[in-house]
């Protein structure tokens, strides 16, 4: 088994919380890394998600952590980007935990970033009125550091 812990770092873009509104995630600096992966984790849907009641997750990138633009298909791997950088629509379709359906058990989705910008962030848009909300978090996993010290993780022992 190989060590993965010292080969990547994880940064929050969207802090885990019950979401009822649109939100811009925090920009994550990719300087010093050769690869990145956007991960969205969703808890059980609080409102019954549907075509008229859903969340759209998009990926944006920036040179300066100030002016962000939508990623396009050429900027990602292992996924499809629609208009406005949207790569995931949580609309209750598909099998539980797959294809945009967190259902009662939640789900996790990911897309690789291969664009050339220094910063990336996740963004949540919504359709409809979400009264109960759904727990959503978004992480950026940075890998393949150019220097071994870029992957220094803080270890927390119990």
Do 35 and 142 touch, CB atoms closer than 8 A? yes
Q: Note the pLDDT of residue 123.
A: 97
Residues of the chain falling short of pLDDT 50: 97
Q: Is residue 158 part of a domain?
A: no
Number of domains in the chain: 1
Containing structural domain, residue 72: 9-134
Q: Is residue 93 part of a domain?
A: yes
Residue 118, burial from CB neighbour count under 10 angstroms (0-12, 13-18, 19+): middle
Q: Note the pLDDT of residue 2.
A: 75
Q: Is residue 108 part of a domain?
A: yes
Q: Note the pLDDT of residue 142.
A: 95
Do 150 and 36 touch, CB atoms closer than 8 A? no
Q: Is residue 146 part of a domain?
A: no
Q: Is residue 3 part of a domain?
A: no
Q: Is residue 99 part of a domain?
A: yes
State pTM to two decimals: 0.87
Q: Note the pLDDT of residue 103.
A: 62
């Amino acid at each position: 088994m190989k060590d993965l812990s010292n080969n990547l770092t994880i940064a929050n873009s969207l802090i885990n919380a019950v979401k009822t509104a649109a939100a811009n995630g925090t920009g994550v600096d990719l300087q010093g890394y050769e690869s990145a992966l956007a991960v969205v984790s969703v808890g059980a849907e609080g409102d019954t998600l549907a075509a008229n009641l859903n969340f759209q997750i998009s990926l944006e990138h920036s040179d300066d952590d100030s002016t962000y633009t939508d990623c396009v298909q050429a900027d990602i791997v292992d996924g499809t980007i629609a208009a406005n950088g949207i790569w995931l629509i949580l609309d209750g379709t598909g099998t539980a935990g797959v294809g945009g359906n967190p259902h009662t058990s939640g789900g996790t989705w990911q897309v690789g970033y291969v664009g050339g910008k220094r910063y990336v962030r996740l963004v949540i848009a919504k359709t409809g009125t979400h009264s109960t909300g759904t727990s959503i978090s978004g992480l950026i996993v940075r890998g393949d550091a150019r220097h071994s010290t870029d992957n220094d993780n803080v270890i927390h022992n119990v």
